[in-house]
Amino acid sequence: MGISQERSLLPDLRWQLTTAVRPRRQVIGERASRLAILDEAERFIALCYAEHPGLGPVSERLRQVRAEIEALGTYRHTTAELTFAARVAWRNSSRCIGRLYWRSLRVRDRRDIRTSDEIAAEAVTHLREASRDGRIRPLITVFAPDAPGRPGPRILSQQLVSYAGYQSGDKVTGDPQSTVHTRLAQRLGWPGGNPQGRFDVLPLIVAEPGRAPAWYPLPADAVRQVPITHPNHDWFADLGLRWYAVPVISDMYLQAGGIRYPAAPFNGWYMCTEVGSRDLGDSGRYDQLPVIAERLGLAADNDLNLWKDRALTELNVAVLHSFRSAGVTITDHHTESARFIKHLETEERQGRNCPADWSWIVPPAAASATPVFHRYYENFDQTPNFYRHPRLSLAGHEPG
């Protein structure tokens, strides 16, 4: 990659980011936009006050909100409303099997923060508070919302912690899911690992509107990681596998009551199949099944011996064992499936219909041995909710 290409990327990327977060009102007109916000706001406030009678009369609050939107084109959630918004966004996340604990989500209100430097510092605090001594707690940090003519900041990283994927030709060292972000970090000036390793923690990439993204290395002590070992196979440690303790999703925005919070990183704890079956097992990710099968003495040229299934199971056993021995919260897909069924029952008792997406809820291992497999769900989209930002793409900037 030559210097000139590197330079030319930044203004374009800046443009892309600014337009991506351009408030809708500029597109569909101020009046229409106010009506849209008002409509969403009214529904949200009504829901919030109906579920929390202690907050007082809804009519008074609705009057305030209407006046604020009329005057400013936006309004500010109270702390109670923001907390409710984040929790219900989780409750409405139809792909998440872990929703039984939606009420326990802790909300860090950082709506006054919009500079990259401060966001990076708060992200580090988030990591520390979420992982504590290994007892992971569900946590969200909410940064400044979009406002008319004033888009909020964005975190470009997919998760606060992720591993680099260095591409060279067809070969990727590290996580193939991170190649675009790794390239971006490098172009912004991140030197990368020296030597480049399979588990180099990527720097955090943050974008203030109208400015080029900035990268921030994460302090090692804020990034808890777990070496993967197996309870019965000593050779497993020799594979040199590891994973980070907390998945903090940072490329989704929180949409609630007509307000969009473009940077609102949140986390729960891992279910073993996320790491064992998918992150380390997928052929498009760390692709560890062939090497594990080999060590297990299974011929990988014969589908009839179910080498993939057996390797997957041992990898999941290893992930669970490793997190547990490290004292880091993790759950298995059987426990989590049973909890999800309980969640559905609780929701039903509350008179709520729980949206769920079968293809995401059913675990990628032992599917039919879990109760979530044997039923259908209704999937529908309702706010508050989390939505993924458009994928970061460096298309058109690739050499050759």
By annotation, the residues acting in catalysis are: 96, 99, 269, 274
Instruction: Point out which span in 1-9, 198-206, 263-271, 312-320 binds ligand ARG (CB under 6 A).
Output: 263-271
Rounded to a whole number of angstroms, the minimum distance from the CB of residue 109 to ligand ARG is 21
The SS3 assignment for 379 reads coil
* Contacts for 160 with CB less than 8 Å, ≥ 6 apart: 123, 126, 127, 204, 218, 246, 248, 250, 265, 267
Q: How many residues does the chain have?
A: 400
Binding mask 57-96 for ligand ARG (x = CB under 6 A): ----------------------------------------
If one asks whether residue 17 binds ligand ARG (CB under 6 A), the answer comes out as no
Alpha carbon of residue 196 to chain centroid:
25
Q: Which one among 268, 276, 281, 363 touches ligand ARG, defined by CB under 6 A? A: 268
Rounded to a whole number of angstroms, the minimum distance from the CB of residue 265 to ligand ARG is 11
Which of positions 132-171 make contact with ligand ARG (CB under 6 A)?
Answer: none
Rounded to a whole number of angstroms, the minimum distance from the CB of residue 273 to ligand ARG is 9
Number of residue whose CB is nearest ligand ARG = 268
Rounded to a whole number of angstroms, the minimum distance from the CB of residue 8 to ligand ARG is 33
Rounded to a whole number of angstroms, the minimum distance from the CB of residue 278 to ligand ARG is 6
Residue located via tokens 């929703």: 99
Binding mask 90-119 for ligand ARG (x = CB under 6 A): --------x---------------------
The CA-to-CA distance between both ends of the chain, in Å, stands at 10
Q: What are the φ and ψ backbone dihedral angles of 259, each rounded to 5 degrees?
A: -105, 140
Q: Which one among 188, 214, 271, 292 touches ligand ARG, defined by CB under 6 A? A: 271
If one asks whether residue 247 binds ligand ARG (CB under 6 A), the answer comes out as yes
Cis peptide, bond prior to residue 195, ω within 30 of zero? yes
For ligand ARG, how many residues bind (rule: CB under 6 A)? 11
If one asks whether residue 286 binds ligand ARG (CB under 6 A), the answer comes out as no
* Helices within the chain (DSSP H only): 3-20, 24-28, 30-51, 58-72, 79-91, 116-131, 179-188, 272-273, 289-295, 307-326, 333-349, 358-361
Rounded CA-CA distance 193/172 in Å is 14
* Contacts for 12 with CB less than 8 Å, ≥ 6 apart: 397
Question: 205 with 147: CB under 8 angstroms?
Answer: no
Binding mask 190-229 for ligand ARG (x = CB under 6 A): ----------------------------------------
Question: 164 with 174: CB under 8 angstroms?
Answer: yes
Rounded to a whole number of angstroms, the minimum distance from the CB of residue 268 to ligand ARG is 3
The SS3 assignment for 242 reads strand
The SS3 assignment for 73 reads coil
Instruction: Point out which span in 65-73, 222-230, 254-262, 271-279 binds ligand ARG (CB under 6 A).
Output: 271-279
CA dihedral over 339, 344, 348, 354, signed as positive or negative: positive
Rounded to a whole number of angstroms, the minimum distance from the CB of residue 25 to ligand ARG is 32
Q: What are the φ and ψ backbone dihedral angles of 190, each rounded to 5 degrees?
A: -70, 125
The smaller minimum CB distance to ligand ARG, of residues 205 and 271, is found at 271
If one asks whether residue 270 binds ligand ARG (CB under 6 A), the answer comes out as yes
Instruction: Point out which span in 65-73, 79-87, 226-234, 269-277 binds ligand ARG (CB under 6 A).
Output: 269-277
- By CB under 6 A, name the binding residues for ligand ARG: 98, 247, 249, 268-271, 274-275, 278-279
